[in-house]
Structure 1
Amino acid sequence: MARELVYTGFMSLDGVVDSPGGTVEGHRSGGWVMQTEFVPEAYSLKGEELAETSALMFGRRSYEAFAPIWRDSEDHAAYKDLPKYVVSSTLSEDDLIDGWGDITILRTLADVEKLKQSDGGAVFVHGSAELARSLGDADLIDRYNLLVFPVLLGAGKNLFSHSDRPKQQLRLRDSDTYRNGVAKLVYDVVR
């Protein structure tokens, strides 16, 4: 049975996913998630994900941003010993940080496809907009777990490709809305 590949992320209403927590990526509106009223139940999806996460996947830039913070973060302690995969053609073994569990570099989308065919549970892709677009265009993503924030950013990295490609149908698995305007949208990719 193939492993499920799940993209999880915060997204603006106009599809931007970069710099939700800060200005690391240089987005002029960085930190837009923190500018929305905090409602704990709006983040319940993150706890639900943790229960089914068997591995994490990142693109190089997201790995470089998250790894040094998440490795020592109490909020992300449950991720510490999970296997991690970084999809990169440029990252070297020497660039990997110590003390954050087993980390494997995948060089190609074919490597990701091979991982999906292996035994194990769901692999969650965090951040990594460019990787997510490539995985989506290659029909490798099985589910999108999105928290959509009531903000229009106008510019930034979009989750979905704007290239001409075959239509991809999605089926709503779960949804909810919260008093701060955030919407939870969980979609399965229909094949």
Structure 2
Amino acid sequence: MRKIIVGAMVSMDGVMQAPGGPTEDPTKGFKFGGWVMPYFNQEFGEELDRVFKEKFDLLLGRKTYEIFAAYWPYYDEDAPDGGIARLFNDIKKYTVSRSGEVDTGWAGSVLLRDIADVKRLKQEDGPNLVTQGSTELVHALLANDLVDAMSIFTVPVVLGGGKKLFADGSAPHSFKLTSSRVSPNGLIIGHYEREGEIKIGDTALDNPSDREVARRERMKREN
């Protein structure tokens, strides 16, 4: 069975839209495309390498796949930073598109129709499946309880709106932090693995006050 690992670059308010540049995804009037790039430094690169250190295939939503397919095959693999282009060009790329209207001409690309196809792929033997971007797909993966690990790069900016990593409806789970790093420019990187059910505590007094009893009754009425 394969693991699904969500790789995400997010703002402090959870936005993951268009981290790489203004033309990447300006939908719904998003004005801050490229917000991650000023924070790309040595620590960022090293932790990104950690995400890709084990053999993997890419699992992408249709829109992110189209961004990658229009970029990485044309990047100079012989450039000093061309290793990621070479890697992405060589591995398999799975793209999920409900409509099927996607050009899978990028070498090694495979079209999946829906989340059921992803579930079948996860059950197969093979390398881990790593997502990049792909907001709608990530929401579906989380809702269908298919995420085994997450690598989250949190950039110290608040964007005020845009496509977000988490949506209501994710399957509830606790995650354990396996490694973390803070760069001098405020970037926080956390690598997490799924651990188990949500643990719950309670700070309530053994004998709640009359005011607390009244508050609880009001909450019931307002629910």
Q: Which residue of 1 aligns with 2:104?
A: 96
State how far apart, in whole Å, the 2-side matches of 1:115 and 1:50 are.
Answer: 19
Residue 124 of structure 2: which of 114, 118, 125 is its match?
A: 118
Question: Do the aligned partners of 2:173 and 2:194 also contact (CA within 8 Å) in 1?
Answer: yes
How far, CA to CA, are the matches of 1:5 and 1:160 in structure 2?
16
Runs of 5+ in structure 2 lacking a partner? Answer: 197-223
CA spacing shift, 1:60–1:173, aligned 2, 3 Å: same
3-state SS in 1 of match to 2:107: coil
Provide the residue aligned with 1:182 in structure 2.
187
Supply the distance in 1 between the matched residues of 2:142 and 2:151 (Cα, whole angstroms): 13
Is the 1:148–1:184 contact (alpha carbons within 8 Å) kept by the matching residues of 2? yes
Whole-Å separation in 2 of the counterparts to 1:190 and 1:109: 23
Read off the aligned partner of 1:179 and give its amino acid letter: P
Q: 1:167 aligns with which of 154, 169, 172?
A: 172
- Cα RMSD for the two superposed structures: 1.5
Q: 1:87 aligns with which of 78, 82, 96?
A: 96
3-state SS of paired residue (2:71):
helix
State the Cα deviation string for residues 124-154 of structure 1 (Å, max 9, x = none).
Answer: 1111011101111111111111111000111
Identity percentage of aligned residues: 34
> For the residues of structure 2 that align with 1:80 and 1:86, how far apart are their CA atoms?
14
TM-score (norm 2): 0.78
Q: Which has the higher contact order (CA 8 A, sep 6+)?
A: 1
* Uncovered stretches (5+) of structure 1, i.e. residues with no partner: none
Q: What do the CA deviations read for 1:36-58 (whole angstroms, capped 9, x no partner)?
A: 3x421222122122221321111
Q: Give the distance between the partners of 2:55 and 2:155, measured in 1 at CA.
A: 23
Q: Which structure's CA Rg is the greater one?
A: 2
Task: Determine which of 26, 33, 37 is the counterpart of 2:36.
Answer: 33
Deviations 1:44-103 (A, max 9, x none): 12212222132111100111111120122233111212111001111346x222xx3321
Tell me the residue number matched to 1:4: 3
Alpha-carbon distance, 1:166 to partner: 5.0
Alignment of 1:136-147 (within 5 A): 136-147=142-153
Point out 4+ residue stretches in structure 1 off by more than 3 angstroms: none
Paired residues, number? 185
Structure 1 range deviating more: 116-125 or 39-48: 39-48
Q: Is 1:21 matched up with 2:24?
A: no
Check conservation: 1:39, 1:179, Cα contact below 8 A: no
Contact 1:5 1:122 in 2 (8 A): yes
**Letter of the 1:56 counterpart:** L
